[in-house]
Amino acid sequence: MSEWTDDLRAEARERILVLDGAWGTMLQRAGLTEADFRWDGADPLRMYRGNFDLLQLTRPDVIRDIHRAYFEAGADIASTNTFNSTTVSQADYGTEALAYAMNEAGARLAREVADEFEARDGRRRWVAGSVGPTNRTATLSPDVERPEFRNVTFDSLVEAYTEAVRGLIAGGADLILLETVFDTLNAKAALFACEEAFAQAGKTLPVMLSGTITDASGRTLSGQTPEAFAVSTEHARLFSLGLNCALGADLLRPHLRAIAANTEALVSVHPNAGLPNAFGEYDETPEHTARVLAEFAREGLVNIVGGCCGTTPEHIRAIAEAVKGIAPRTAPTRPPYLRLSGLEALTVTPDLNFVNVGERTNVTGSPKFAKAILAGDYDAGLKIARQQVASGAQIVDINFDEGMLDGEAAMVKFLNLLAGEPDISRVPLMLDSSKWEILEAGLKRVQGKCVVNSISLKDGEEKFLERARLLRRYGAAAVVMAFDEQGQADNLPRRQEILGRAYRLLTDVVGFPAQDIIFDPNVLTVATGLEEHDRYALDFIEDRLRSWDAGECGEASPPRICVAVVQANCGARLMV
C-alpha cells in the first residue's frame, strides 16, 4: 500500500470523507460546442459532442477547473471524468482506441489539481478513478424475443475494465471507484479486472463499489436486493460499498440501511439531487441534500458522502459542512455464516439445521430433466426449476454432465434463460459438474454468490489451489469432495485426512473463508444391504458427534458451517 492509501484509511477512521459531485451536470453548464470535442485524427463524418470523456484529451482546462471547484467546496476525494472511458462504452462513438488514454489523462489531471490544493493548505486529497457500468448488461438480454442472448460477455467486460483500470493507475489514481452498478455481474467482471490490472501494475489500490437502485422496488436493474448485492461482492474485500444515482437521498434511506447492515466495508452514498423534473433537470437544493445526508451520518450509516446527477459544488459545500464533526459509521462484526445470493440473500445459520438443495435440474439425477434438455426443450427445464423453488428448494443445483450434450453450451444457455426468471433466480444456484471448464463458464453467467460443486485434490495440489483462487475471484462458495491423488475416501480416517488437508490449503494458503467451504465427505449410499457399506452412515454420525475436534484439521476446529452434503434416496441434497 502507498503512503497515500495508508493516510486514506486512517482518515476514514477519524471522520466522514467527502466525495465530489456530478460531472455531467457541470459539463452541460460549460457551453461546449462540437469543436471542443474534436482532435487531430477525428473522423470528419462523425459528431462527438456529448462524449464528455473526450474532454480530458481535447479540453483539459475545463476538467481542471471542475476539479478545482469541487476541491474549493470541500471535497476530499475527486472522481475522474472517466465514467464511460471503456472500449465497450466508447464503441458508440468509434473512439475505442482512445479508452486507455482517456483514463490515464483523466487520473493525471485530477492528480495535478489534488497536488495543487495539497501544496496550498497541506491537507491531503485523493483521486478516485471512476469506472462506470458500461451501456450493456451481462445478466439480461437486450432482445425480448431472445432471452438467452447477450450483447456482452464477462470476458469482454473484464478485458475492457482491465484496460481502463490500468490507465487510471498509470495516471496516478489512489483508489478505484466502480459506480452506478445496475448489474452485479458487470460489477463482478470489474472486480475481476481490478485484480488483473493490479497484478500487471504491481500495486493494489482500494476499491469503492457503488450500486444503483433503479426504482421504488428497492432492487437493481438486474433484480437484486441491496443485501444480495452486498453478499455477491463481499469476496472483493472492498474499501467501501454503497449506493449512488437513480434516486434522491430521501428514497435511498431504507436501501442504505440494508447495505450498512450487511457489509464490514466502509459505506458510501452519493445520491442524485432528487428525481429529475419534466425537463430532465434536478431541483433539489443543496440544503435539502445536505440535511438528509447529515441524518444518515447521525444514524451511523455512512463513512463517505458526495453527490451524483444534478449535484454541484454548492451541494458538496453544503454536504461537507453538514457532516463536519459527526463520527463515521462503525462497521458491524458479522457472525461467520455462509452467505449466498440469487436475487435475494440466503444466510445459513445454525437455526436452519439444513438447507434444501433442489437437484431435479440435474441431467445425471433426473431423467425428466435430461429428456427435456436433450430434446432442446429448455422451457420444460425451466419449469422443473420453478417447481423446485415453489416446493421449498433454497438452492437450485444445475448439472449438464451428459455424454450426448455440449455441457458448457447447455450450462451457458440455461443460466442465461434462468436469469430472466425472477421466481427461480431469486434463490442461489449450485453449479454442478465434474469438468472445470463447465463450472467456469457457469461462474461467468451468475450475478449472485453461488456454490460450485465441486473441487477436490484429485488432480493434485497445484490444480486445487489454482481453482480455489479463481473461485475466490469469481465470488463463489465451494463444495470440497473427499478425493485426493489416491482416489475417493471410503472410510473415516481417509475422509479426515483428505478434508483436513484441503481445509488447511484453502484457509492458510488461499485465504478462503472457512464459512464458504462445504465438505462432502462421501457418505455415499446407505442401507444398501452390502456389508462394505455398513460403516458409511456410522462414520458420518460419529464424525459429526466429534465435530471436527482440534487437531483433526491440523489446528483449531473449523466453523460449524463446514458442513456435509448427504445424498438422500429422494435425490435431493441436504446440507447438514
Residue 88 and residue 231 share a domain: yes
329 in any annotated domain: no
Domain count, the chain: 2
DSSP strand pairing (266-272 vs 207-211): unpaired
Residue 384 and residue 479 share a domain: yes
Residue 353 and residue 484 share a domain: yes
331 in any annotated domain: no
- Give the amino acid at 575: M
Give me the domain span that covers residue 374.
338-575
Residue 406 and residue 276 share a domain: no
3-state secondary structure at position 304: strand
At 358-409, the pLDDT tens digits run 999 999 989 999 999 999 999 999 999 999 999 999 999 999 999 999 999 9
Question: What is the C-alpha R_g of the chain?
Answer: 25
CA atoms within 13 A on the CB side of 113: 26
16 in any annotated domain: yes
Residue 175 and residue 60 share a domain: yes
Residue 499 and residue 468 share a domain: yes
- Residue with the three cell numbers 461482492: 233
The single-letter DSSP state of residue 447 is -
528 burial level (CB within 10 Å; 0-12, 13-18, 19+): exposed
Residue 347 and residue 258 share a domain: no
Domain boundary among the residues 274, 300, 323 is at 323
Q: Strand 517-520: give its sheet, edge to edge.
A: 517-520, 477-481, 451-455, 429-432, 395-399, 355-358, 573-575, 565-567
Domain boundary among the residues 323, 355, 388 is at 323
- Picking from 539, 553, 531, 552, the residue whose alpha carbon sits closest to that of residue 490 is 539
- Kindly report the CATH number assigned to the domain that includes residue 267: 3.20.20.330
Question: CA-CA distance, 545 to 547, in Å (whole number)?
Answer: 5
Residue 129 and residue 91 share a domain: yes
pTM attached to this predicted model: 0.93
Tally of residues, the chain = 576
Phi, psi of 290 (to 5 degrees): -65, -40
Residue 178 and residue 114 share a domain: yes
- DSSP letters of 197-238? HHHHHT----EEEEE---STT-S-TT---HHHHHHHHGGG--
Q: Helices marked H in 225-330 — which ranges?
A: 226-233, 249-261, 286-298, 313-323
Instruction: Give the list of residues 6+ apart from residue 225 with CB closer than 8 angstroms, or none.
Output: 218, 219, 258, 343, 344, 345
Residue 422 and residue 362 share a domain: yes
402 burial level (CB within 10 Å; 0-12, 13-18, 19+): middle
- Kindly report the CATH number assigned to the domain that includes residue 508: 3.20.20.20
C-alpha cell at position 478: 465451494
Domain boundary among the residues 284, 300, 323 is at 323
CB 175 within 8 A of CB 125: no
pLDDT digit string (tens) for the chain, length 576 residues: 445 567 888 899 999 999 999 999 999 999 999 999 999 999 999 999 999 999 999 999 999 999 999 999 999 999 999 999 999 999 999 999 999 999 999 999 999 999 999 999 999 999 999 999 999 999 999 999 999 999 999 999 999 999 999 999 999 999 999 999 999 999 999 999 999 999 999 999 999 999 999 887 899 999 999 999 999 999 999 999 999 998 899 999 999 999 999 999 999 999 999 988 888 889 999 999 999 999 999 999 999 999 999 999 999 999 999 999 999 999 999 999 999 999 999 999 988 878 999 999 999 989 999 999 999 999 999 999 999 999 999 999 999 999 999 999 999 999 999 999 999 999 999 999 999 999 999 999 999 999 999 999 999 999 999 999 999 999 999 999 999 999 999 888 999 899 999 999 999 999 999 999 999 888 777 777 888 778 888 887 776 655 444 344 444 344 333 444 433 333 334 443
Residue 400 and residue 425 share a domain: yes
330 in any annotated domain: no
Question: CA-CA distance, 56 to 99, in Å (whole number)?
Answer: 11
